[in-house]
Chain A
Amino acid sequence: MSNDEGKARAGGIGRRFGRLGHGREEGYTRRQVLYGGAGSALLLLAGSELLAACSSAATSSPSATATGSSSAKATLTLLNWHTSTPDQGLGEGYLAAGKAYRRANPNITLNFQAEPIADYVPYVTSAAKTGKLPSNVALYPGLNHSALFPAVKPLTTTEVGPLLQQLTGWLDTELHVGQAGTYAGIPFGGQGVVWYYNKQLFEQAGLDPSVPPTTFDEFATACDKLKAKGIAPIGVSGADSYIASWMLESWTTQFFPTQADVQAFALGQRSFADPGVNATLQAIEQTYKRGWWESGFAGKQFTDVENDFSTGKVAMVCGIITDIVNWALWDSKLGKNSYGVFPAPLLAGAKTSTPTQFFYPSILLGVNKDAPDPDAALAFNKFLVSEQSQTIVLANGGSFPNRLDVDVSAATGSPGAAAIQALLKTHPLVDSIGSWLNTAASSKYIPLLTPAVTSGGISSYISTIAGLQAQTN
């Protein structure tokens, strides 16, 4: 285009604008038109935002209330671990909760990243060091993730607000972060150990499926009857030792029934060589020595035991309530009414007459201390622990809530899950000592457990773990 052509075109545009300027001697200049257009656009934008805000407030959606919806744009990524595949179990629950959050907060872009649980600590460490840690980080609320706490932003009491009353499990968070009055994250979800039993196999052994054992003697009678009928009483995974460790966690609560009792382990006031630990281990040893463990347990992973219980090969399994070896799996594979739940049978010498129930938050939701938008990240974490979100996660991912206002029965339609919630409401809840062991002890107490029980090496096991727990570094 030549200069003359350009000038001619500019003149033409000017003239046209001039014709629009009725009642003026001269038409609008190009600058006036541009400024006016930009101003109008800004006004329109502001108006639409105001309208949107008004309509949002008018509808007053529950999610918006829970999240404190923000119009600011932000991209958030929640990093968590998975035990098999990223989009199953808890991962599925996160995705569903994320959709609900996005509906209320369209300006927030949400991503979910899941890493295998075995590599989680090295991954978070490396990601934090290389500045690649996502905005929201799930941590294990135990001492063995405490090495990762420097990567997250400590939260003050003011920042967490009313959640302090609404959620259980704050104690873990506070103690582990090591700074008075601050928290490493917000406790999310509930974890605990219960015993599951197969009602049909109980019937076959002449046991009343509606009356599960409440004392160790009753438990022993049930096991002997099952064994006499050729039914394997208890499923155990010797290769990973998880089931035995859950047996330990379910029974130790009877000897350390208060939170102070359990905390004493972390504070160095109580040793792993405590007689209560020994009594628990003796009970586990009994279950092995009396031949109640299923055959071939030594080579089994927890996934094998899941299969064995789901297919009716074993009558009982000590499982957890969130994620794996749990009611959600039995619902889908064994049938919703085919199994029952009971707390750990009361052991002789227990310090409580009512069986205590091990229950603690399964996850701490932290905010990366270097996150570009920490407020948005915190808001999302707060949404995840809300009643709305925990109901969604429970229904989609099978994760138990750490707040008692969630209607578990309605959300899941599972008699097993409902029975667990009833159990949580009727039994004293306490944490397990496993969460309060230091890194050195917690890395060894699970893998060494089954070999110790099966080889008669309980006393050496106790002294080993007690020694590790006493380490200062």
Chain B
Amino acid sequence: VAVHEVLKEQRALADSGTPRSPAWGSMVIRRLDWTAVAFICPIAVLVLLMVFIPIGRTIYYALCNYQGLGSPQFTGLANFRNLAADPTFRRVILNNLLLVFGLFLWVTVPFILAVILYRRSRADVIRTILFVPVLLPPVVVGTAFRIILADNGPVNGVLGAIGLGHIEPGWLTDQHLVLLSVALVITWAVMGSGVLFYSAGLAAMPYELTEAALIDGAEWRHLVWHVYRPGLRHVTRFFALLLTVSTVTGFFPWIFGLTQGGPGVSSTTLDFDVYESGILGGNYGAASAIAVCSIIFLCMVLGCFIVLPRLSRRWHAPHGLIERVDWRRTSPSGIRIFPIPARRFLASRMRDLIVGLAILAVAFPLVWVIRLAFKPEQQWIGNPDSFGGGWTMANFTGAWSSGNLGTALLNSLMIVPLGALIATTVSTLAGYALVKLRVPGKRAVLICVALAVFTPLPAIAIPLFNQALSFGYADQRLGLSLVYGSIFAAWGTLLMATHFRELPDELIEAARVDGASSLRTFLRVALPLAMPGLAALFVINLLIQWNELIIALVMLPDPTKQTVTVAIATFTTQFRTGGPLTAAGVLIAACPIIVIYGVSQRFIRADVLAGAVKG
């Protein structure tokens, strides 16, 4: 259906001043592809209801004195004036800005590892090991590192053992060091996904480029700087954007588990401040003002990502272009200490060492937490940084019963699969309609969906709950599934649109020529071909929704209905001793996600690789 033609016709009619014929409206209706409208409607309605209306409410609350109970009272810009005068809020903004500098670590470390692992034997095994932290719920990662980086924890224990006891830093207790610790922990957590993205980018690069450079005498460092770095620029941009957005939208669970924003407000981020002021403190007006500030902050960050490449010619270099380099000129001149074969040998061993250290960095905290979970409480109290001692299962039974983890696991199993199913279904329909069908207002829908992806969840949590109250699904598991299905459908829509774009148009045209309707073409042709992407989307939705914390925390106040992520977050804040009981709780919470990943590993990896290759 030529909707564009219809719109042109409408414009022409308006320009000529000719009154519309009575048949015009019915003509538009007749010529609309109702399948496309039906496919796009769910995402449009859900994004409007679950993202944009809550954002509107957040802005309204930000202009009110609103304590949660009772009605909001309009006070204009009072909340913003309060924030402007509050030095702690200025520190929170500074924390977010400083954390953006963590990008250097978060991007560089996985880039170097991916390049080292490129075309290396057993690289898949190493990548899988490095990917394990990505699977763990961030609140679990935060809690685990609270144990590892405690003043009397194993890291300081190791420093003491190698004679550096005098420096034993307060990783999480020194207000000058805590942000660096947070950045390091996040490096640990995101390293695996970065390696995977970069590996996919490398796999998509023609190996001939590497070969040509090697023939021309390029050494490994030349390859890294002049071939891989520019060749993977698109992956770097994507990954950096993802992480930068996360500093505003997704750091809450890490901060919650790791530092609770302390000491003082030294590690409080915008999203954690929304939680602390609104949900904990009950000052919803102030929290909404912080949420609005976080949206503005996010817009500025996204703006930088759009403007900076235009300012930088190098950044703006065409995708995949390899720089022209005279390798001889880039080689260091002067005296060489080692002959070339020796240098190459040393460089190779150095790369092995880096990989070894990365594996150690991933494995050490995991092994420590597993060991601690089996350690008797009294032995831990007596010697907290010791690996030895007895073994017991009592911590698991204790954590299971006192943390109410059984019920929480069951709740997650009731909520998350349904949420993932809703998100996958809605995303698939919308993704297909956006790239293969003629949809009225397609561009507007795409922009809205993209904006919805970048919405900070803490900013909409409070209005989402109020909206749920109005519609009667507050404190209902089914309600949370619906919310999850809606807010995560936006991201899935973009993913599925990428998948369907790869589908040859000829197949669709052939089906239409054979007389198949749009619906039939979708069901019989497009859907079967998109099954791998669909499966991946479902599994990734399972993982994301399973790990989600803030919406679940707000939407399900009833402790008997809380999800396992909320249960473990509550459990670890309640028993903040960082001891064996906490470690056992962390392991119980992490187990289901490891199982889900184990079962569906090939779907996720195939999908991530495919997505990254497309850039």
Contact = CB atoms under 8 A, between A and B. Distances in A.
Interface string A303-334: 11001000000000000000000000000000
A126 B283 CA distance: 14
Interface in A198-251: 238-241
Interface in B169-219: 170, 172-175
B559 A147 contact: no
B257 to A, nearest CB: 13
Interface string B67-110: 11110000100110010011110000000000000000000000
Contacts of A473: 65, 75, 78-79, 82, 283, 285-286
Contact of A298 (B69, B170, B261, B576): B170
A298 B282 contact: no
Contact of B469 (A122, A129, A471): A129
A119 to B, nearest CB: 6
A116 B570 contact: yes
Nearest to B469: A129
Contacts of A62: none
A119 B151 contact: no
A115 interface: yes
A130 B88 contact: no
Given A118-B574, A119-B570, A238-B173, A448 B265 contact: yes
Contacts, number: 144
B575 interface: yes
A301 interface: yes
A128 B402 CA distance: 26
B86 A464 contact: yes
B475 A472 contact: no
A151 B262 CA distance: 31
B612 to A, nearest CB: 39
A36 interface: no
Contacts of B264: 447-448, 450-452
Given A84-B574, A129-B469, A444-B265, A451 B285 contact: no
Interface string A445-458: 00110111001000
Contacts of B265: 444, 447-448
A239 B286 contact: no
Contacts of B35: none
B475 A130 contact: yes
A50 B50 CA distance: 60
Interface string A416-449: 0000000000000000000000011001100110
Contacts of A147: 67-69, 282-283
B552 to A, nearest CB: 12
A150 B70 contact: yes
A129 B474 contact: yes
B469 A130 contact: yes
Interface residues of A, number: 50
Nearest to A113: B559
Contacts of A463: 87
A440 B82 contact: yes
Nearest to B82: A471
Interface string B123-158: 000000000000000000000000000111000000
A239 to B, nearest CB: 6
A299 B475 contact: no
A156 interface: no
Interface string A147-186: 1101100000000000000000000000000000000000
Contacts of B173: 238-239, 298-299
B342 interface: no
A444 B574 contact: no
A144 interface: yes
A467 B557 contact: no
A132 interface: yes
A443 B86 contact: no
B394 to A, nearest CB: 16
B88 A464 contact: yes
Interface string B246-263: 000000000000000111
B469 A440 contact: no
B381 interface: yes
A430 B78 CA distance: 34
B574 A439 contact: no
B65 A299 contact: no
Contact of A126 (B266, B277, B465, B576): B465
Given A123-B557, A125-B68, A151-B69, A455 B282 contact: no
A193 to B, nearest CB: 22
Nearest to A471: B82
B283 A439 contact: yes
Contacts of B559: 115, 123
Contact of A118 (B87, B266, B280, B577): B280
Contacts of A467: 85-87
B385 to A, nearest CB: 12
B276 interface: yes
Nearest to B465: A126
A448 B261 CA distance: 11
Given A440-B283, A467-B85, A467-B86, A301 B577 contact: yes
A472 B78 contact: yes
A133 to B, nearest CB: 10
Nearest to B558: A132
A279 interface: no
A296 interface: yes
Interface string B103-119: 00000000000000000
A134 B363 CA distance: 47
B56 interface: no
Contacts of B469: 129-130
Given A440-B283, A463-B87, A85 B474 contact: no
Nearest to B289: A473
Nearest to A116: B574
Q: Which 7 pairs show the lowest CB-CB distances between chains A and B?
A: A299-B151, A126-B557, A298-B173, A147-B67, A147-B282, A451-B264, A150-B69
13 contacts: A85-B402, A118-B574, A123-B557, A126-B465, A132-B558, A144-B281, A147-B68, A147-B282, A298-B173, A450-B264, A451-B263, A471-B85, A473-B286
Interface of B: 65, 67-70, 75, 78-79, 82, 85-88, 150-152, 170, 172-175, 261-266, 276-277, 279-283, 285-286, 381, 402, 465-466, 469, 474-475, 553-554, 557-559, 570, 573-577
Interface of A: 84-85, 115-116, 118-119, 121-123, 125-130, 132, 144, 147-148, 150-151, 238-241, 296, 298-299, 301, 303-304, 307, 439-440, 443-444, 447-448, 450-452, 455, 460, 463-464, 467-468, 471-473
Given A296-B151, A440-B281, A447-B265, 8 more contacts: A85-B402, A118-B573, A147-B67, A298-B151, A299-B170, A444-B88, A472-B78, A473-B285
